[in-house]
Amino acid sequence: NAGVTQTPKFQVLKTGQSMTLQCAQDMNHNSMYWYRQDPGMGLRLIYYSASEGTTDKGEVPNGYNVSRLNKREFSLRLESAAPSQTSVYFCASSFVNRAGQPQHFGDGTRLSIL
């Protein structure tokens, strides 16, 4: 009964380092999403994957890459971390084309880049 699981929960990086945030869901959802949350700005969509094998840019994709490894897993990679990427990152998942079905969120990853 895990829902959406994100790892790690906390991470500190130095500028220029790379990092992959992992996300897995066990609800058989088709679609998965990555958001970042910054103070005073709500959640903003970075990338999403409508279904296995597809990925698309969201509102703030610069500096990130994603991989939809299989139906369960969707990872977010920072190739060369920058202080502006300090944020809390949320992964979410939902069914596709199911009217009104809400997204289910993981517990977030707090990422600090020095």
Partner 1 sequence: AQTVTQSQPEMSVQEAETVTLSCTYDTSESDYYLFWYKQPPSRQMILVIRQEAYKQQNATENRFSVNFQKAAKSFSLKISDSQLGDAAMYFCAYRSYYTGTASKLTFGTGTRLQVTL
Which residues of this chain interact with partner 1, rule CB under 8 A? 30-31, 33, 40-45, 48, 50-51, 54, 56, 58, 88, 90, 92, 94-97, 99-103, 105, 107-108
Please state the closest distance from residue 83 (CB atom) to partner 1, in A: 21
For 69-100, give the DSSP string.
-SSSBEEEEESS--GGG-EEEEEEEE-SS-TT
The C-alpha atoms of residue 81 and residue 89 are separated, in whole angstroms, by 14
The C-alpha atoms of residue 81 and residue 72 are separated, in whole angstroms, by 26
Of 4 and 78, nearer to partner 1 (C-beta) is 4
- Per the listing, tokens 């296995």 go with 52
Please state the closest distance from residue 16 (CB atom) to partner 1, in A: 27
Of 79 and 107, nearer to partner 1 (C-beta) is 107
Please state the closest distance from residue 108 (CB atom) to partner 1, in A: 5
